[in-house]
């Protein structure tokens, strides 16, 4: 049995694994990546971010066709099935795999497909699909195995009508009514997707507000637009049991309510993919959700082993995972690329989408920061009118004395793109972070970015 020697072995080829592998390889290290699929990309490419966002884009196009009067010259509103829409996502996945496979080849990174586990702190054993065991010796190892949907033991996920956010991509029909249990980011995104296809959705939330980490005004706007699109939101509810039927599912809630639907989608939390890593062989423990603890350098309790991405928990975003992986490798190669990844915009791909960065009003009020608000409503923006996207707003929170930008919150068309302009200004040092940038800068017209100028003038007009 051959033993392959490497400087760095990365477990997982999702955003964190890819970021780590590329940074280490570009620093001159000999790198190998291990993934338990036969293709690179991780859960992000195959089950999570890419397919769900591709689904969302297709559904949004369908909604535009069915609601824009101009398209009535082409034909009447059309109905599309979930499997039909899923085909577009599959095409995007294939393109992503091709692109990412090329990255590893160009950077001369060896990729092993199989299940990797620790034999000891510097030895990884990879069980390949054909049963052959490969042994990799490494000076440093980076764990980037991601996460999967949390599955409580009392829910029968083998029932053909019970899905999680991974298995929903195998759905072969379009339900008339769907229960989504869990109203976090994934639950809200899928509520938008299915309701956009005309499915009646019951969205079960165990809290009293959707996505309570958001600015409350943005959260309220999301709730309103979901409700107007046939999503029934039930707050402060918890499941007691899930009863599978031949033709559907009954959800029994602790409040005594019973809800029947054609299918149930479980979106209540995620678990780190650590159970097959053999962490017990090297003395690394995990928490109740299977997540590995790391310090600010992304190092675990074992000096030569690092971890990044969903497997370490917060914020469980593909964007952050890529930077965490790069930073973990930066800690190893010491090329100046390490940083604590905490400047993270929130991107939520509901319909309409949401993005934010910095503090919200509740946090600033609690901290007794004297702030003011500037708003721009999309219904008044020329680009939004041209695009038939009148829903949404940009909201800037700034210090009323120094004019420092403290938070940017956006709801509506291109929100996840718009937020980055505010992020760039907030990252400027000292007096360069100022609301005045937006009024002293000429924006292209008409654009959605111009909302910053409108919101800045609105905020300045509130000062006295």
Measure Cα distances from 112 to 28, 69, 123, 134, 282 in Å.
20, 52, 14, 9, 22
313 is in an annotated binding site: no
Question: What's the rounded Cα separation, in Å, for the pair 55 and 169?
Answer: 10
Q: Nearest Cα to 304, choosing from 121, 143, 30?
A: 121
39 is in an annotated binding site: yes
Question: What's the rounded Cα separation, in Å, for the pair 219 and 402?
Answer: 28
53 is in an annotated binding site: yes
132 is in an annotated binding site: no
100 is in an annotated binding site: no
110 is in an annotated binding site: no
240 is in an annotated binding site: no
What secondary structure, in 3-state letters, does 27-63 show?
A: CCCCEEEEECCCCCCHHHHHCCHHHHHHHHHHHHHHH
147 is in an annotated binding site: yes
Question: What's the rounded Cα separation, in Å, for the pair 213 and 180?
Answer: 20
Measure Cα distances from 458 to 182, 260, 413, 439, 454 in Å.
37, 47, 20, 10, 6
189 is in an annotated binding site: yes
CA triple 327-333-337, angle to 5 deg: 40
380 is in an annotated binding site: no
459 is in an annotated binding site: no
CB-CB neighbours of 134 under 10 Å: 18
294 is in an annotated binding site: no
72 is in an annotated binding site: no
373 is in an annotated binding site: no
309 is in an annotated binding site: no
Q: What are phi and psi of 420, to 5 degrees?
A: -70, -25
Question: What's the rounded Cα separation, in Å, for the pair 31 and 111?
Answer: 9
128 is in an annotated binding site: no
182 is in an annotated binding site: yes
Question: What's the rounded Cα separation, in Å, for the pair 371 and 369?
Answer: 6
> What b/e sequence results for 349-383 when a residue is b if at least 16 CB atoms lie within 10 Å of its CB, and e otherwise?
bbbbbbbbbbbbbebbeeeeeebbbbbbbbeebeb
The structure tokens listed for 402 are: 């120094």
40 is in an annotated binding site: yes
41 is in an annotated binding site: yes
330 is in an annotated binding site: no
12 is in an annotated binding site: no
43 is in an annotated binding site: yes
183 is in an annotated binding site: yes
DSSP-based three-state secondary structure for 168: helix
CB-CB neighbours of 86 under 10 Å: 18
Q: Could you tell me the strand order of the sheet in which 371-377 lies?
A: 346-348, 354-358, 405-412, 392-399, 371-377
As annotated, the binding site for NAD(+) includes 182-189, 269
Annotated binding-site members for FAD: 35-44, 53, 116, 145-147, 310
Binding site feature residues: 35-44, 53, 116, 145-147, 182-189, 269, 310
């Amino acid at each position: 049995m051959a033993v392959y020697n490497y400087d760095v072995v990365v477990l997982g080829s999702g955003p964190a694994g890819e970021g780590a592998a590329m940074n280490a390889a570009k620093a001159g290290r000999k790198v190998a990546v291990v993934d338990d699929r036969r293709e690179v990309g991780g859960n992000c490419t195959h089950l999570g971010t890419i397919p769900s966002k591709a689904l969302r884009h297709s559904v949004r196009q369908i909604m535009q066709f069915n609601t824009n009067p101009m398209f009535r010259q082409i034909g009447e509103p059309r109905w599309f099935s979930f499997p039909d829409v899923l085909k577009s996502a599959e095409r995007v996945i294939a393109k992503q795999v091709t692109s990412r496979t090329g990255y590893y080849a160009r950077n001369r990174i060896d990729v092993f497909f199989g299940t990797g586990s620790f034999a000891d702190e510097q030895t990884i054993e990879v069980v390949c699909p054909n049963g052959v065991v490969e042994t990799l010796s490494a000076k440093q190892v980076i764990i980037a195995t991601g996460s999967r949907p949390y599955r409580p033991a009392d829910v029968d996920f083998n029932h053909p009508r019970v899905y999680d956010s991974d298995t929903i991509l195998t759905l072969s029909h379009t339900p008339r009514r769907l229960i989504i249990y869990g109203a976090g980011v994934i639950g809200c995104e899928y509520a938008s997707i299915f309701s956009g296809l005309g499915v009646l959705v019951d969205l079960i939330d165990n809290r009293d507000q959707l996505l309570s980490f958001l600015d409350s005004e943005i959260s309220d706007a999301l709730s309103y637009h979901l409700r107007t699109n046939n999503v029934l939101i039930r707050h402060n509810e918890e499941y007691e049991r899930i009863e599978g039927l031949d033709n559907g599912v009954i959800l029994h809630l602790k409040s005594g309510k019973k809800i029947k639907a054609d299918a149930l989608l479980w979106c209540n939390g995620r678990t780190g993919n650590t159970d097959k890593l053999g962490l017990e062989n090297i003395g690394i423990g995990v928490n109740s959700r299977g997540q590995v603890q790391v310090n600010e350098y992304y190092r675990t309790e074992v000096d030569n082993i690092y971890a990044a991405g969903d497997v370490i928990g917060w914020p469980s975003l593909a964007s952050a995972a890529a930077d965490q992986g790069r930073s973990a490798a930066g800690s190893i190669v010491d090329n100046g690329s390490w940083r604590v990844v905490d400047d993270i915009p929130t991107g939520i791909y509901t319909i309409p989408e949401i993005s934010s960065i910095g503090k919200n009003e509740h946090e600033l009020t609690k901290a007794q920061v004297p702030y003011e608000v500037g708003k721009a409503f999309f219904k008044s923006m020329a680009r939004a009118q041209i695009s038939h996207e009148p829903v949404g707003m940009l909201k800037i929170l700034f210090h009323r004395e120094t004019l420092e930008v403290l938070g940017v919150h956006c709801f509506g068309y291109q929100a996840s793109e718009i937020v980055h302009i505010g992020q760039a200004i907030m990252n400027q040092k000292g007096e360069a972070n100022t609301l005045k940038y937006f009024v002293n800068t000429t924006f292209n017209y008409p654009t959605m970015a111009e909302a910053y100028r409108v919101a800045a003038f609105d905020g300045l007009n509130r000062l006295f």
